[in-house]
């Protein structure tokens, strides 16, 4: 499968993550985009939906069934909202397609936790416990064999990548972790809402869903596996007046007396073989990651705390980029294929 | 009427111009806000609609009839969309209220022109020919006696104020005028639409409605009165990634050999008694007008053209500020009352 | 002194806080601006330095000595950088002027702490221990008698106002407090620097000075007085792509089992007589405070922590607005004079 | 030269256009970056100058002489300011390097015009008349043989590409053309200046250099060649609160009665073989071109005028991208090599 082009489809192709995904796939030497979908019935041309793609991709967004999708494409990316993904995954898999789901439907292993946080009974609950969580930096050993990959959330990727090295090595306590995260507005999606109008977001900064955001249990679940113990995270997201980018500022209790330099070494060693993680001496900023699949990290000790900082582009490393990393892994390609920023 | 507080109501109080209007009225020594309306039936508190007003105004936005409005308030500001204003004006006037309409419904004198540009039969057409156009710099003699004032559009105010002195004095030709206008996103209103989402507007610049914008006939009508001849304007609006502000860059054909200094003198003389127009030697920028009722102007001759530049805050001088200027005039107050930037 | 206008001067009038201060003073019924200064020798007109003030204030920015300043003005506002204020304060006071210093020079009581954080020997150290800290919400009893007021920092005002009620009542532990603060770019001043260029700040989010910012000891000093015990704060500032506004997201350890509602009541009671603090049920955002002297607060309990959120406009409540509050207090006026948002 | 990698150097590597150029060259299959320069003597690592390039390019910015540059690199890109380029070009060419100059030094053919607009005597005047103007859409026949290419300005590329088809075919008059152009702040460079601080540019819109910008004679010179007659352009640039992007709104007098559809056909035919020009039915916006080498164009007839609109990314198609197009041409490669948006 790795020598020729793999046929791919994007289900739910009208949002920001889908546009980013198409941009990456268009430059990918091993992907051939063969189908796009939308719930709309007027089959809009992708260039009318995403003007940046005019002249680059000549496809319409059709209202296709899972069977039609699976017939056309070997790999289907789901850019649908939660709830909509689980409605098509069983049929796609049954028809032999591989699926990379960018929604939250298959991220949580426990259907009860899903129901609690998403206020929705999971209709494909049996599949949850074994679905692979598609964060390649932690799970690149098991992703290649998967036919369904649950692509992680944007906030969660930043938070998990920041904390995993320190929890894995026992450098910080697994309880009492605070993640103060800030995101640009594209993370809120492309459906018109009052709260994401330009005149509302511009010159505005506010927290939302304090201690009550759906990425909180996702972070805790993934990190529990890393730490080998329950992990307790207080997660506070903020909406920042920019289009793209997430910065997570994370506060943890040290488990020993290691200083900044030692912890930087720990992080560098942990990610030595991860081409998309850059551990910095200086402080990361979102702008240095914009349009790339990098996650920039650093760590500091200060006032008896360990402070970890993570920056990434929410649409790339936080969504479409990691999806293509997963695509590379499940199709037997080098993880960096299609990413010029990593020489791929 | 000028010594005590005048009772005022804002009909359609949930948008950006209404918020700005309330902010100005709250600091106005002669206005007492007594009623706010919305089409919503849940009577939201104004502080939940406009968080900036929390603790400053304790009123709910109610779904009131014109009769109820006129019973409570001496002056009613209409911040309703076009079409909705003409549905209430006759009843408000009949009930004795004075009305300042921020919509486009009463700006055009000719019902046929209204129907052509707004794709709507005017239901109060008989009133159009005599309605006062509320641009005080041109019509402050007739506004005080009006019971209905048609508040001008934001683009139109900038364009008319820029061109009036030169057309009135015959310094430029009335035909072949080009108005290249640029506006912040608040001018597009507060209804959620794809085109005004933060992630669409941010880092984006585009023209729209080239030669086809509804402010074009409004500019031409007002300037024809000034010039004493038909005026022909090509109007091109642009959406700029900022919240507030309009800049109009206007190109006209000189009618004689006057240079920059002479034309600046003409503009200064024309606006000698207009406290809200500043004629600058330098080039105007929107930022110097933000939050104020000023319109900043300058003029240049270059390459055989006259170039006029106008900057204003679309929500203040382009909407709510001029509405309060009109309020001052129809209630017998100094034009600057309630405007600290003009010593009022 | 309270019936007539008080003559005021602004020393260091070319920056953003000075512009905001002038805007407030221009609408203030009890202030008469009589002098502005700059280190520049070309005596620029204030309208050329701050285009928004054109036509509103006809003064030049002169290079005046302290003696000249004190001769002209009863109250001198210092908008000079740290180091420059202590060079003029002794002479201004000796000449009989009252001084409101917006710099950091007189905020810290201990000269050794000042020297440690500002890398500068204090040249007026004897005055430090007794200088009044100009946060009216905490010190409005002692400010009126002061001839020198140390105006608080922007981050510090937000942090102290958020934490004071909970520390004063013993609702949270005084150690282990984390202040994750985010500021717009105007807080970084108006001197051209690479880091505050539009193309660097726009679409960018990063932390700086983690655990190492000069406002950290200022917060700890002020709160120690409130708590009656040493207070330990880890302070992390961030630069956000907006002009104005600070949001502080604060994490503390509860000292008892009080829930969100109880803590909201505590905050409301504490600020019952403070007209510029709004305690919200919902989450504060900077945009609702822009251009006003309000500090918006709320509190939540979540995951075993107390989370306090504070929003204010860094140039108003964080600098020029609180300076005018202090001006009102030392000239015997109501605290709200000159602030239309508070009915003043 | 076209099969192997060509060694390239970037002279003046610390600005925005240089960063963009490096980003494109890093993904280019035929370029090997071997040297970077700066006037600074501390030889900063490129990752400290451009954090986005960390981990992607391991070079220091050295203070190299032209001889050293020519020894290392076959092609030297000059990202130096005007005045600095002409100081190194003769020596670079003499040493056998090919040169692509992004400054204005070699764009104007007439040394007297250069001296008039740049207030500087040209020190390499003899070379001006024959230097190739590096706009491939017009000059792709002569660029391949050049050893020195004068890369066009950002505003000029947009203006020329918009007007060339209509002037070449005689569809518009060559006199009386108005170019109302709007640019993001990155066009103003990376040297810290008051006017490009975030707090000055944000929420701000203003014109500058009305009829007096240095790109005006450059546009007129290039278009005169196309039109076969003198071309007269009034050029008005504006600074817009965004990082990247130029939109030019251009007004011309029609030379005949052709309508919108006919003129669109003319433009499409003219650019049929130009892979980076997209002629749109709809109105172009800068956002659809961001990060790409596309120039999006359309044309309208309205009110007796021809209105042409052009959008491009000033750092790519307006600077670094067209430089790489030129690099491809002078090294015998397909014009699209290194541009995934064009399948290259």
Per-residue pLDDT, averaged over C327-331, amounts to: 98
CA distance, residue A213 to nearest chain D CA (Å): 30
Q: How far apart are CA A107 and CA A139, in angstroms?
A: 13
Residue A14: which pLDDT band, with cuts at 50, 70 and 90?
A: very high
Q: Percent of chain B, pLDDT > 70?
A: 99
CA distance, residue B27 to nearest chain C CA (Å): 5
| pLDDT of res. B3 | 55
D67: buried, middle or exposed (CB in 10 Å: 19+, 13-18, 0-12)? middle
Q: Domain A6-152+318-342 belongs to what topology?
A: Rossmann fold (3.40.50)
The verdict on D175 touching C (C-beta cutoff 8 Å) is no
Neighbours of A121 (CB within 10 A): 10
Q: Could you tell me which of D257, D179, D303 has the C-alpha nearest to residue B220? A: D303
Length of chain A: 344
Inter-chain CB proximity B185 and A193 less than 8 Å: no
Start-to-end Cα distance in chain C: 18
| pLDDT of res. A3 | 56
| pLDDT of res. C344 | 86
Inter-chain CB proximity D294 and A55 less than 8 Å: yes
Mutation target to probe the C interface, by most C beta carbons within 10 A, among B32, B281, B311, B340 is B340
| pLDDT of res. C222 | 96
Residues of C in contact with B292 (CB under 8 A): 52
Neighbours of D256 (CB within 10 A): 9
Among candidates C27, C202, C278 on the partner chain, residue whose Cβ is nearest the Cβ of B54: C278
C-beta separation of C71 from C95 below 8 A = yes
Give me the residues of B, 205-264, that contact C with CB < 8 A.
Answer: none
Residues with Cβ within 8 Å of D82's Cβ and at least 6 positions away in sequence, in order, are D103, D104, D105, D118, D120
The verdict on A200 touching C (C-beta cutoff 8 Å) is yes
C-beta separation of B146 from B212 below 8 A = no
Q: A317-321, C84-88, D38-42, D121-125: lowest mean pLDDT where?
A: D38-42
**HEC string for chain D:** CCCCCEEEEEECCCCHHHHHHHHHHHHCCCEEEEEEECCCCCCCEHHHHCHHHCCCCCCEEECCCHHHHHHHCCEEEECCCCCCCCCCHHHHHHCCCEEEECCCCCCCCCHHHHHHHHCCCCCCHHHHHHCEECCHHHHCCCHHHCCEEECCCHHHHHHHHHHHHHHHCCCECCCCEEEEEEECHHHHCCCCCHHHEHHHHCCCCEECCCCCCCHHHHHHHHHHHHHCCCCCEEEEEEECCCCCCEEEEEEECECCCCCHHHHHHHHHHHCCCCCCEEECCCCCEHHHHCCCCCEEEEEEEECCEEEEEEEECCCHHHHHHHHHHHHHHHCCCCCCCCCHHHCC
* HSE (side-chain half, CA atoms, 13 Å) at C102: 33
Catalytic residue among A61, A79, A154, A295: A154
Q: Residue C317 gets which letter from DSSP?
A: I
Q: Which residues of chain B have pLDDT under 50?
A: 1-2
The residues of chain A that CATH labels 3.40.50.720 are 6-152+318-342
* HSE (side-chain half, CA atoms, 13 Å) at B291: 14
Inter-chain CB proximity A193 and B194 less than 8 Å: no
The residues of chain C that CATH labels 3.30.360.10 are 155-314
Among candidates D182, D300, D307 on the partner chain, residue whose Cβ is nearest the Cβ of B205: D182
pLDDT at A170 over 70: yes
pLDDT at A189 over 80: yes
Chain B / chain D CB contacts < 8 angstroms = 143
Chain A / chain D CB contacts < 8 angstroms = 45
Question: Which CATH architecture best describes the domain B155-314?
Answer: 2-Layer Sandwich (3.30)
Answer positive or negative: Cα dihedral of D324, D326, D332, D337: positive
Mutation target to probe the D interface, by most D beta carbons within 10 A, among B158, B176, B177, B180 is B180
Q: How far apart are CA A41 and CA A61, in angstroms?
A: 9
Length of chain C: 344
Strand order in the sheet with B233-239: B206-207, B233-239, B177-183, B246-252, B305-312, B295-302, B277-279
The verdict on A317 touching D (C-beta cutoff 8 Å) is no
Of all residues in chain B, the one with the smallest CA distance to C280 is: B54
The verdict on A199 touching B (C-beta cutoff 8 Å) is yes
Of all residues in chain A, the one with the smallest CA distance to D55 is: A278
Inter-chain CB proximity C193 and D192 less than 8 Å: yes
The verdict on A202 touching C (C-beta cutoff 8 Å) is yes
Q: How far apart are CA D20 and CA D10, in angstroms?
A: 11
Chain B / chain C CB contacts < 8 angstroms = 45
pLDDT at D2 over 90: no
Mutation target to probe the C interface, by most C beta carbons within 10 A, among A210, A243, A301 is A210
Inter-chain CB proximity B305 and D251 less than 8 Å: no
Among candidates D232, D286, D304 on the partner chain, residue whose Cβ is nearest the Cβ of B206: D286
Among candidates D54, D288, D343 on the partner chain, residue whose Cβ is nearest the Cβ of A51: D288
C-beta separation of D58 from D36 below 8 A = no
Among candidates C197, C203, C243 on the partner chain, residue whose Cβ is nearest the Cβ of D190: C197
Among candidates B232, B287, B300 on the partner chain, residue whose Cβ is nearest the Cβ of D210: B300
Per-residue pLDDT, averaged over C145-168, amounts to: 98
Element (H, E) at A217: helix A215-227
Q: How far apart are CA C139 and CA A288, in angstroms?
A: 44
The verdict on A203 touching D (C-beta cutoff 8 Å) is yes
| pLDDT of res. C1 | 42
Of all residues in chain D, the one with the smallest CA distance to B185 is: D203
Query: β-strands A177-183, A246-252: how paired?
Result: antiparallel
| pLDDT of res. C171 | 98
Mutation target to probe the A interface, by most A beta carbons within 10 A, among D46, D184, D340 is D340
Residues of A in contact with C200 (CB under 8 A): 287
Of all residues in chain D, the one with the smallest CA distance to A288 is: D52
Instruction: Give the three-state DSSP class for C224.
Output: helix
Inter-chain CB proximity A234 and C251 less than 8 Å: yes
C-beta separation of C128 from C109 below 8 A = yes
The verdict on D203 touching C (C-beta cutoff 8 Å) is yes
CA distance, residue A192 to nearest chain B CA (Å): 5
Per-residue pLDDT, averaged over D130-159, amounts to: 97
Q: Which chains sit next to C, with 3 or more Cβ pairs under 8 A?
A: A, B, D
Q: Percent of chain C, pLDDT > 70?
A: 99
Q: What is the pLDDT of residues A225-266, one digit of tens each?
A: 999 999 999 999 999 999 999 999 999 999 999 999 999 999
Q: Could you tell me which of C342, D202, D263 has the C-alpha nearest to residue B184? A: D202
Q: Which chains sit next to A, with 3 or more Cβ pairs under 8 A?
A: B, C, D
Q: What is the pLDDT of residues C196-238, one digit of tens each?
A: 999 999 999 999 999 899 999 999 999 999 999 999 999 999 9
Of all residues in chain D, the one with the smallest CA distance to B208 is: D283
Mutation target to probe the D interface, by most D beta carbons within 10 A, among C199, C239, C243 is C199
Catalytic residue among D61, D79, D154, D295: D154
Residue C2: which pLDDT band, with cuts at 50, 70 and 90?
A: very low
Residues of B in contact with D306 (CB under 8 A): none
The verdict on C203 touching D (C-beta cutoff 8 Å) is yes
Q: What is the pLDDT of residues D210-259, one digit of tens each?
A: 989 999 999 999 999 999 999 999 999 999 999 999 999 999 999 999 99
Establish whether C154 is a catalytic residue.
yes
Inter-chain CB proximity D291 and A287 less than 8 Å: no
Of all residues in chain C, the one with the smallest CA distance to B25 is: C340
Inter-chain CB proximity B240 and D205 less than 8 Å: yes
CA distance, residue D206 to nearest chain B CA (Å): 4
Instruction: Please state, rounded to an integer, the average pLDDT across all residues of chain A.
Output: 97
Q: Which chains sit next to D, with 3 or more Cβ pairs under 8 A?
A: A, B, C
């Amino acid at each position: 499968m790795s020598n020729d082009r793999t046929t791919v489809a994007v289900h739910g192709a009208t949002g920001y993550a889908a546009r980013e995904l198409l941009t990456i796939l268009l430059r990918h030497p091993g992907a051939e985009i063969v189908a796009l979908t939308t719930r709309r019935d007027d089959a809009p041309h992708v260039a009318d939906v995403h003007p940046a793609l005019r002249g680059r991709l000549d496809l319409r967004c059709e209202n296709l069934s899972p069977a039609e999708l699976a017939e056309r494409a070997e790999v289907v990316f789901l850019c649908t909202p939660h709830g909509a993904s689980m409605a098509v995954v069983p049929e796609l898999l049954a028809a032999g397609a591989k699926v990379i789901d960018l929604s939250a439907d298959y991220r949580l292993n426990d259907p009860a936790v899903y129901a609690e946080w998403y206020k929705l009974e999971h209709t494909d609950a049996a599949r949850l416990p074994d679905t692979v969580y598609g964060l390649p930096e932690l799970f690149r050993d098991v992703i290649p064999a998967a036919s369904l990959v649950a692509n992680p959330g944007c906030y969660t990727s930043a938070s998990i990548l920041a904390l995993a090295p320190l929890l894995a090595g026992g450098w910080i306590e697994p309880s009492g972790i605070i993640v103060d995260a800030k995101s640009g507005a594209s993370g809120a999606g492309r459906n018109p809402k009052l709260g994401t109008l330009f005149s509302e977001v511009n010159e505005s900064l506010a927290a939302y869903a304090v201690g009550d955001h759906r990425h909180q249990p996702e972070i805790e679940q993934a990190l529990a596996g890393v730490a080998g113990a329950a992990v307790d995270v207080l997660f506070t997201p903020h909406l920042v007046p920019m289009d793209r980018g997430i910065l997570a500022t994370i506060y943890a209790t040290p488990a020993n007396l290691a200083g900044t330099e030692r912890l930087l070494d720990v992080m560098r060693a942990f990610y030595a073989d991860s081409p998309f993680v850059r551990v910095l001496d200086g402080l990361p900023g979102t702008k240095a990651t914009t349009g790339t699949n990098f996650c920039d990290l650093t760590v500091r000790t200060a006032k008896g705390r360990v402070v970890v900082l993570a920056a990434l582009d929410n649409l790339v490393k936080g969504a479409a980029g990691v999806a293509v990393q997963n695509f590379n892994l499940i199709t037997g390609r080098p993880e960096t294929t299609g990413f010029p920023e990593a020489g791929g």
